Structure 1
């Protein structure tokens, strides 16, 4: 009978009986997944298995000496002497069972480990069967042959179940004591050892057992005087009273949060397994390496929270920041104001939909430049405007409620003037602009016509993620690609989204401190010691505040506001998000400078004079260059945005050898009529050199002399000057877009004199 039992136990022995320590360690699966930064440093810990609370594998060297000693004293005093089975304890247990006396038990730490590794050997409600005990004994002896004592102790501490769902020393130490296993003191070690013996015992039983273990740990050395023995006994009694109180508080504590670290929202994106993978955590790997930089993540988070504290009196609670690598699209920092400063720490403000305000303007001007509707020096009118829409009149206002008159497109964008932006959108059209934003990487929920002309001022909703990546598109010369949260994979290819020449000019404007001087001054927080292009924005009623910009290597986007959507109090672009943007940018360039981008082919630089602005050199897309921009010469009180093309070699008038010639407008001019300005105020100045000249428009005479004012109407037109005999001396071709005057072409009139 005994032989049969041994044979059955031997045949039922687990595959783990001959397992090596490395096999045991490799098969271990924590209930949490670690998010690593790009250098392999732990960035965040997220629970991905809801069935058990199991921490990371802990090396024996990282377990406190007090716990190692307490475990051996409590569970297996002759652990370092036996070879897996303590035969002295077995004999004592057998003798006790024979005489029905209570003994400690004969199960060694190695035997317990064998039971933890093999489900067939685990203790049931009625104890282990004879077959299980024999199998456990054989497995323990096999483990002793394949593993060292320290490895057996390490594996046991990581696999032993504790109270409730907790398994392993890491989960217990962090859950009940709020610290790593290496920091456990004598009392904490005693409580831990007590829980191993009786994981779900009542507090009183745990305290009693812990007191016994503590007494063994702190057993006084043999003394020769009764007085010292009495003092030791008194200290032991005092320690037991203290540990009873400690057990009560410890067993009710659960410090091991399911999510902990610097990047909770990225951890949720990367570490949650897909639903198709089965139960939660089933396919989650133990670690995932992200593209984030732990030092930068920590610095950005600290900077963000510091700024929020500075704005505490202005009704600001939340913020977010995103840092992208321009070349690879890798996310280097993804930070939310998670913590006590936020009313909604679980909300990811990087992916939340918000109104971007004026941060959309660079894309609008970039599109208008690419389509040759304007140049950076073109004059745009910043004045009161009322635009008729299907919903009524749209009346844009500037941030400071003041108007600047005629300004260049460079000043309009740099100073973030609202009315010129709306006038530019009239030329481009909201629907075309919406399509352009989609190409840049910023898809909107609705069509451009749904938002109307308010789209120029950021009335649509987008995310900080899409907005920042769209600025990265500008940084890459108008080439777009998705962002990446992991490293090691081949980055996705770029796709063209905007003319590289237009992207360059936009970046040149956004990096020009003089262009934004009218609104932000010459020494604002946006100024950097290295080349950087940046734009701020504030949505309606100060609900959202933004600062987004890029340097040679990095793009940084910052949002400040409230999760509830409540307005902030007196927070502008330079006082809300911009200080965070500047601090992060400066940190990125502490040891790496940023240079201005090289101009792409097809750009020319020309010295220009612009009405009301200092002379300067300006960038033009080849074929649109012009040296002078003066409304008194081009039009009187007209909203005229032009792209000047090369003279058409096929036009005989342009190649005439006569001294008479048309000096304004130039062939290729595109005029955009403003539907808000009365038609009589949108006259185009016609100028020519010569004598006895007559003006023909589309073959019909409209005026005589060297100058005239013409009231344009939509369409393509040919403007000619002829002599008294009707001979064509010169001609130009132009196009007029927008709403015109019904009823035919009005006659030209003589220009008024300047006062």
Structure 2
């Protein structure tokens, strides 16, 4: 009699098989449903090519187009499958997924190998993910190493394979995968590491890029070029072993000959980019598409500025520099000695007392009121509202010209000007030239006690250099997308006349004197320079701001904690830094002589009838400077009669005749031209006569 045991075993086995088949069928059904649902939820192909989910890439370029810094994820051009070099495609397949063309999105052999390694080593050392799985993870999932994430990854990979072709999947992968250095996609990687687009990749370069996917930080060419070249050799060997490349072609590649583009320096230039990039918010609306920002920065000037500041700034102190071209373009900016140590931008953020550099506004006010550089004023003790200013020399020079007073930075003269014109008048002049913030109107304000920013003071000097017309600093010339679409083009802002040209010309005369014979002699560069020093109490701040050949440069030095810096004066380290920088910055520019004289306005060339006693309605004869009719002999009640100049019969009342009558020196006056704008309001004659700063006999 047969034993029933085999029958029970057979029954149990059949039951297991049936249940296994049933569960397998259910699993396949569930997998099919999951894949179908995943397929339905997948974006269309065009959406996946936008890469907006990765953030915005911003490449900042210098005035000559060179890359200054790349911020955010770096994207290059999207290359269609046919545009990608065949060597790049096969290199990636060989090293990442050699059965890419045959599997359905998941490679069973690769999965089995990964599981075996897991049991052998106790950890997931080999992922076994296909290119399709990597694409699914990069777009839709995280990099967490969990079983649930691997299941989702496999489902998405199967869905992607059902929805897109192999060529489309490889195109997506090569344009989206991360290659290190902030570069996403082969074109960004090629431009980052080799300086050209991916369509021009050589075999060796393609091998380096393909080798980066495994460990971008370990094999980055800019971090370890030898490691990148060694990894490229591994990729080439894999291409040969898998039949993608003849051995002779691989042998022809010399890894040592592959040239890698050095990473862009990001030290001092970051002060400039940190100041410039926030301006994009007001210039463009694009926040996702990759953009190239072309700036005004001159790399040569920036390097010269960095050297000048670091070579001249006293130990323990900080230095800042900003250079503005005649149209407002910022050519160089240094916000501190080292951006890595401190990102605080002392050129655009720090507010410090400017010392005597503030006298620019004092003397602009004086010149606009009618004073001349040749006018004589007296350097003597003065007390204003209980305040008694002292000169740095602790002495008084007596009668000096306005030019000499400015060149020697005599404090008492500035105090007299402020007292005569009103300290509010000087504050208004500073605001007119772009100084913002709180401006003191106490008497001591004439010596620069109000805190200002270096870029604002430099802008003010640039406006004087621009013949009294406002200059607005700007940093961004244009913004374009990666495919060349123009988003922004800088347009010149409406210029405002701040002071008359003759006032700016006379101010330039004073500024040039300060460099030629005054406190700014250390700023000389072998060509015309105009500028002014500034030193605050206890040598806490040192300034020099000046211009030459259309470029205006401001330099500040001091400590962030506002403590004393031994020996720091505007005419020492700051002036030397200015000189070192400007010698390089303007070397290739033509030498320009300053226009220290400009056509006087009509109201000075031909004084009005009130001042001269001329009454048009009465058709009175011409009168002289004292209001006496020409051709008569007026009686002076305080003295004997004086002969008056007589006009030549038939002579015209021209400028030469006016010079002779008024005893003017024609060598100090340029040819008369029509005035271009209305003069400032004139003081009544009685007030002008009472002005304590009028020339003394």
For Structure 1 versus Structure 2, the TM-score category normalised by the shorter chain is 0.5 to 0.7
What's the CA shift string for 1:153-204, capped at 9, x where partnerless? 564344999xxxxxx99999786788636726179969xxxxxxxxxxxxxx
> Distance between the aligned counterparts of 2:291 and 2:685, measured in 1?
71
Q: Say yes or no: does 1:43 pair with 2:68.
A: yes
CA contact (8 A) 2:467 2:505 kept: yes
Deviation at 1:544, TM superposition (A): 0.9
2:560 — aligned with what? 563
The TM-score with structure 1 as length reference comes to 0.60
Deviation at 1:460, TM superposition (A): 1.4
CA contact (8 A) 2:133 2:157 kept: yes
What's the CA shift string for 1:299-330, capped at 9, x where partnerless? 2112211212xx33xxx520100011212x12
> Distance between the aligned counterparts of 1:88 and 1:717, measured in 2?
102
> Distance between the aligned counterparts of 2:634 and 2:214, measured in 1?
95
- Secondary structure of 1:113's counterpart equals helix
2:669 — aligned with what? none
What's the CA shift string for 1:80-138, capped at 9, x where partnerless? x64664756279579989x9999967531233223322349998643544x86354134
Residue pairs, 1:314-329, within 5 angstroms: 316-327=316-327, 329=328
The equivalent position to 1:265 in structure 2, one of 263, 268, 271, is 271
Q: Say yes or no: does 1:396 pair with 2:363.
A: no
What's the CA shift string for 1:271-297, capped at 9, x where partnerless? 459999xxxx97696653332223322
In structure 2, the CA distance between the partners of 1:649 and 1:595, relative to structure 1 (3 Å rule), is same
Cα-Cα RMSD: 5.2
CA contact (8 A) 2:107 2:130 kept: no
- Secondary structure of 1:550's counterpart equals strand
2:302 — aligned with what? 297
Q: Which runs of 5+ in 2 are unaligned?
A: 1-24, 183-188, 190-208, 239-262, 478-488, 616-622, 644-682
The equivalent position to 2:376 in structure 1, one of 366, 374, 379, is 379
Residue pairs, 1:608-619, within 5 angstroms: none
Q: Say yes or no: does 1:582 pair with 2:579.
A: yes
Residue pairs, 1:85-124, within 5 angstroms: 85=105, 89=109, 107-119=129-141
Q: Say yes or no: does 1:511 pair with 2:512.
A: yes
- Secondary structure of 1:13's counterpart equals helix
The equivalent position to 2:352 in structure 1, one of 342, 351, 354, is 354
> Distance between the aligned counterparts of 1:321 and 1:174, measured in 2?
38
> Distance between the aligned counterparts of 2:692 and 2:108, measured in 1?
103
2:401 — aligned with what? 408
2:589 — aligned with what? 592
In structure 2, the CA distance between the partners of 1:321 and 1:19, relative to structure 1 (3 Å rule), is same
Give the total of aligned pairs.
545
CA contact (8 A) 1:338 1:346 kept: no
- Secondary structure of 1:406's counterpart equals strand
2:463 — aligned with what? 473
> Distance between the aligned counterparts of 1:687 and 1:283, measured in 2?
86
In structure 2, the CA distance between the partners of 1:622 and 1:594, relative to structure 1 (3 Å rule), is farther
CA contact (8 A) 2:39 2:162 kept: no
What's the CA shift string for 1:379-435, capped at 9, x where partnerless? 01122x13131xx2x222223333322111111112322222222222211111101
Deviation at 1:482, TM superposition (A): 2.7
2:528 — aligned with what? 531
> Distance between the aligned counterparts of 1:716 and 1:100, measured in 2?
102
Flag the structure with higher strand content: 1
- Secondary structure of 2:450's counterpart equals coil
Q: Say yes or no: does 1:464 pair with 2:454.
A: yes
2:333 — aligned with what? 334
2:227 — aligned with what? 185
In structure 2, the CA distance between the partners of 1:82 and 1:580, relative to structure 1 (3 Å rule), is farther
- Secondary structure of 1:299's counterpart equals helix
Higher relative contact order (CA 8 A, sep 6+): 2
In structure 2, the CA distance between the partners of 1:557 and 1:9, relative to structure 1 (3 Å rule), is same
Residue pairs, 1:106-505, within 5 angstroms: 107-119=129-141, 125-129=147-151, 133-140=154-161, 145-147=166-168, 152=173, 155-158=176-179, 180=222, 183=225, 185=227, 260-271=266-277, 287-308=292-313, 311-312=314-315, 316-327=316-327, 329-339=328-338, 344-372=342-370, 374-383=371-380, 385-389=381-385, 392=386, 394-448=387-441, 451-452=442-443, 454-487=444-477, 488-505=489-506
CA contact (8 A) 1:479 1:495 kept: yes
In structure 2, the CA distance between the partners of 1:181 and 1:542, relative to structure 1 (3 Å rule), is closer
- Secondary structure of 1:496's counterpart equals coil
What's the CA shift string for 1:202-244, capped at 9, x where partnerless? xxxxxxxxxxx99x99xxxxxxxxxxxxxxxxxxxxxxxxxxx
- Secondary structure of 1:380's counterpart equals strand
Deviation at 1:529, TM superposition (A): 3.1
In structure 2, the CA distance between the partners of 1:567 and 1:185, relative to structure 1 (3 Å rule), is same
- Secondary structure of 1:579's counterpart equals helix
- Secondary structure of 1:387's counterpart equals coil
1:678 — aligned with what? none
Deviation at 1:72, TM superposition (A): 5.7
- Secondary structure of 1:126's counterpart equals helix
Q: Say yes or no: does 1:736 pair with 2:690.
A: yes
CA contact (8 A) 1:28 1:57 kept: no
2:485 — aligned with what? none
Deviation at 1:541, TM superposition (A): 1.3
CA contact (8 A) 1:30 1:286 kept: no
What's the CA shift string for 1:700-724, capped at 9, x where partnerless? xxxxxxxxxxxxxxx9889xxxxxx
CA contact (8 A) 2:133 2:154 kept: no
> Distance between the aligned counterparts of 1:441 and 1:302, measured in 2?
29
Which has the larger displacement, 260-269 or 113-122? Answer: 113-122
In structure 2, the CA distance between the partners of 1:407 and 1:160, relative to structure 1 (3 Å rule), is closer
The TM-score with structure 2 as length reference comes to 0.65
Flag the structure with higher helix content: 2
Deviation at 1:659, TM superposition (A): 3.8
CA contact (8 A) 1:321 1:350 kept: no
- Secondary structure of 1:322's counterpart equals strand
CA contact (8 A) 2:302 2:332 kept: yes
What's the CA shift string for 1:466-493, capped at 9, x where partnerless? 1000111111221224321211221221
CA contact (8 A) 2:268 2:335 kept: no
- Secondary structure of 1:431's counterpart equals helix
- Secondary structure of 2:573's counterpart equals coil
Deviation at 1:564, TM superposition (A): 1.0
Deviation at 1:559, TM superposition (A): 0.5
2:672 — aligned with what? none
1:649 — aligned with what? 614
